[in-house]
Chains A and B, each alone.
Chain A
Amino acid sequence: MTLELLFQYLVAGITYGIIYAIVAIGFNIIYNTTGIINFAQGEFVMLGGMTAVTLNTFMPVPLAIVAAVLITMIIGALIEIIFIRWLDNPTVLRMIIITIGLSILIREVALHVWDEKVRALPYFSGTATSSISIKGVYISPQVLWVIGICTLIVIILNFFFSHTLLGRQMRACSSNRKAARLCGISVQNMVTLSFVLSAGIGALAGCIVSPITYIQYDSGTGLAIKGFTVAILGGLGNSMAAVAAGLILGVLESFSIWILPTAYKDAISISILLLILFVRPGGLFGSREALSLKEF
């Protein structure tokens, strides 16, 4: 094991980790305003990627990505308005089943709209074989794009939630819905907004990773499960911790290939999920005090 190879694995791990983190942030945004887990989150990622690939046939890549993100945001809003907005205080079990049903439906529609072929956007700069060498470690320029854009998303979101009125209103809904409503915040609109936002982030993630991972009608499920693992690992609802958790999972997964065949890669990350759920359901970074007040 040379040092270069070690770094190579590390970079691969970070790339995947940051993608998982973005999906996890999508989960967290909806969880924070509604208290539900959107099991169709992975489908937003798939829709974003697939739409961008189709649009790319008659428009340049940057434009196709922007359009795909907007379209997915609209779909996110429609889903919330049609299926969730009018439900009166639904139970968690009911919401889980509805979002699972939605994820199946979106996937099946995607299968009929597109087909089962894998697709990808072209590399944003350079080609699939071009690489940048940093002291003997070869990095594809797309990896830099992924890391760059994801870091940007995290920074912008952080700013949005802490410094803008809208972001603060959304946070108010998450900490206390009744109090937020009393202050004149439209909780329902905030919920719709959270769906729009998380659909948009998911779609963007789908676009930027598609050149590396490729995308097909059912790639959403796998990403959603990884994203959820990361969200739990960091503590549900905590977006900053999700980034750290994402990096941990990505790197662990990347190095796990040494020990076990790739076929079991998913089994490893899910075992980590189960272990965390059993031992520390509040996540790695949750405080003990806060945990004792919460139900899992």
Chain B
Amino acid sequence: MKRLRHLHIVYMALLIVGIQVVTSATDTAYFLTQLTMSAYYSLIIIGLSLVMGYAGQISIGHAGFFAIGGYLSAFLTTYNLLPYQETGIVAFLSNAGLLVFSQDIYGTDLLTVHPWCAFISAIILTTSIAYVIGRPVLKLKGHYLAMATLGFGIIIFRIVLGSSYFGEADGLSDVPGFPLIGGVEISGNMSARIVNYYIAWGLVIIGMVLLLNLVKSRVGRALRSIHGSEDAAKAMGVDAAKYKLHTFVLSAVFAAVAGVMLTHYNGGIGPSEASVMKSVRYVAIVAIGGMANLWGALIMGSVLNFLSLRGYFGSMDDAVFGSILIIIMLFAPQGILRKGILKDLRNKLTGNPEVKQS
């Protein structure tokens, strides 16, 4: 089993390299831009798959965590601290080497927080918010849970839309690149397209390995037992509340990392990233991939996001996701990317009563 898991990762890595080689050879490297973006979105989706599929908790507020990460990072790396250079805390940060001097395109001097520093603050903030929100929210079930997470998402959306610090309806732009080691940076720079493609998918592979190991471990078994029957799990000594909370926080961190990276890649972020429709879209993709199926979520996440970003759905974008959501939930609530789907369909068509419903 262990070998098989690693084999899948190897296949995935080969596919990623293959796609890059093919696009370079056929002069269609422009596809890589959307593929990079869909990689970051897939990162949120596999995190959400852990919460929905394995812990059995719905969250219609994950775009909120994405936005917290993206917006905080964008704000810190673009907000000019030069006027406050002499004041205590800014001077302290500057001395500690956490700030960078730069110039914008008009030659104005800027003093902003270093991207790494901004990244770490974004992750710390997301983790704390996820803890504070998650503790009371995850006590709820069903409709109450759905509505509470939806409410959280809307509050974040309203805050970024209403606050002048976050650019209101315009969002934040001119976000600098995110420097990694050796002069490589995450940015929308054309020349760095291939490098960025590999960085993004490298992150997804790291995330996948982490989650695959997690669900195969003691934690994963505990989560599945909670999903099956929370009472039974508790009776066996599983601390259900703790496991649910930790999964929720972990997936929030996944969303925030994706938010930070995509913001640096795109060079900006707008309020639509925090909107309810985005959250619903993530839920839709997890549902299509089959709730407790990380590979299904990853495949559907990258394919559907890629198609959507390339604009293949045109003005029907939201309608397509809405329809997919309904059709999957009506006819194949276990998702479509799994073994036995054909058998189930045949049973359904011939009216065989052995069909398992959930």
The residues of B that contact A93 with a CB separation of less than 8 Å are: 56, 58, 142
Taking a contact as CB atoms under 8 Å apart, the answer to whether B323 and A267 are in contact is no
Q: Decide yes or no whether B140 CB sits under 8 A from chain A.
A: yes
Taking a contact as CB atoms under 8 Å apart, the answer to whether A267 and B159 are in contact is yes
The residues of A that contact B159 with a CB separation of less than 8 Å are: 264, 267
**Distance between Cα atoms of A228 and B140 in the complex (Å):** 15
Taking a contact as CB atoms under 8 Å apart, the answer to whether B58 and A96 are in contact is yes
The residues of B that contact A103 with a CB separation of less than 8 Å are: 322
- Given known contacts A102-B326, A105-B322, A108-B319, is B283 in contact with A97 (CB within 8 Å)? yes
The smallest C-beta distance from B261 to any residue of chain A, in angstroms, reads 27
The smallest C-beta distance from B74 to any residue of chain A, in angstroms, reads 20
Taking a contact as CB atoms under 8 Å apart, the answer to whether B151 and A225 are in contact is yes
The smallest C-beta distance from A270 to any residue of chain B, in angstroms, reads 4
Query: Using a CB-CB cutoff of 8 Å, which residues 311-328 of chain B contact chain A?
Result: 316, 318-319, 321-323, 325-326
Interface size on A, residues (CB 8 A): 42
**Distance between Cα atoms of A87 and B332 in the complex (Å):** 12
The residues of A that contact B284 with a CB separation of less than 8 Å are: 97, 101
| The residue from A92, A221, A270 contacting B143, defined by CB atoms under 8 A apart | A92
- Given known contacts A92-B142, A97-B329, is B319 in contact with A105 (CB within 8 Å)? yes
Q: Decide yes or no whether A129 CB sits under 8 A from chain B.
A: no
Closest B residue to A93 by beta carbon equals: B58
Q: Decide yes or no whether A240 CB sits under 8 A from chain B.
A: no
Query: Using a CB-CB cutoff of 8 Å, which residues 85-120 of chain A contact chain B?
Result: 87-94, 96-98, 100-105, 107-109
Q: Decide yes or no whether A258 CB sits under 8 A from chain B.
A: no
Q: Decide yes or no whether A128 CB sits under 8 A from chain B.
A: no
Query: Using a CB-CB cutoff of 8 Å, which residues 108-145 of chain B contact chain A?
Result: 136-137, 139-144
Taking a contact as CB atoms under 8 Å apart, the answer to whether A228 and B147 are in contact is yes
Taking a contact as CB atoms under 8 Å apart, the answer to whether A104 and B321 are in contact is yes
Q: Decide yes or no whether A134 CB sits under 8 A from chain B.
A: no
| The residue from A36, A83, A263 contacting B330, defined by CB atoms under 8 A apart | A83
Interface size on B, residues (CB 8 A): 42
The residues of B that contact A270 with a CB separation of less than 8 Å are: 151, 154-155, 158
| The residue from B142, B154, B358 contacting A225, defined by CB atoms under 8 A apart | B154
Taking a contact as CB atoms under 8 Å apart, the answer to whether B148 and A277 are in contact is yes
Which of A104, A267, A270 has most chain B Cβ within 10 Å?
A104
**Distance between Cα atoms of A184 and B161 in the complex (Å):** 53
The residues of B that contact A102 with a CB separation of less than 8 Å are: 322, 326
| The residue from A100, A261, A271 contacting B280, defined by CB atoms under 8 A apart | A100
Query: Using a CB-CB cutoff of 8 Å, which residues 104-149 of chain A contact chain B?
Result: 104-105, 107-109
- Given known contacts A97-B325, A104-B321, A108-B316, is B151 in contact with A87 (CB within 8 Å)? no
Taking a contact as CB atoms under 8 Å apart, the answer to whether B330 and A96 are in contact is no
The residues of A that contact B329 with a CB separation of less than 8 Å are: 94, 97-98, 101
| The residue from B146, B150, B155, B326 contacting A105, defined by CB atoms under 8 A apart | B326
Taking a contact as CB atoms under 8 Å apart, the answer to whether A295 and B141 are in contact is yes
Q: Decide yes or no whether B97 CB sits under 8 A from chain A.
A: no
The residues of B that contact A296 with a CB separation of less than 8 Å are: 139-142, 144
28 contacts between A and B (CB under 8 A): A37-B143, A37-B146, A83-B326, A87-B330, A88-B357, A89-B357, A92-B143, A93-B142, A94-B329, A97-B284, A101-B326, A102-B322, A108-B318, A109-B319, A221-B276, A225-B154, A232-B144, A261-B162, A263-B162, A264-B162, A266-B158, A273-B148, A273-B151, A274-B137, A274-B148, A278-B136, A278-B139, A296-B141
Having A270-B155, A277-B140, one finds 7 other A-B pairs with CB under 8 Å, namely A101-B322, A102-B322, A261-B162, A264-B162, A267-B162, A270-B158, A296-B142
* Chain B residues proximal to chain A, CB less than 8 Å: 56, 58, 60, 136-137, 139-144, 146-148, 150-152, 154-155, 158-159, 161-162, 276-277, 280, 283-284, 287, 316, 318-319, 321-323, 325-326, 329-330, 333, 357-358
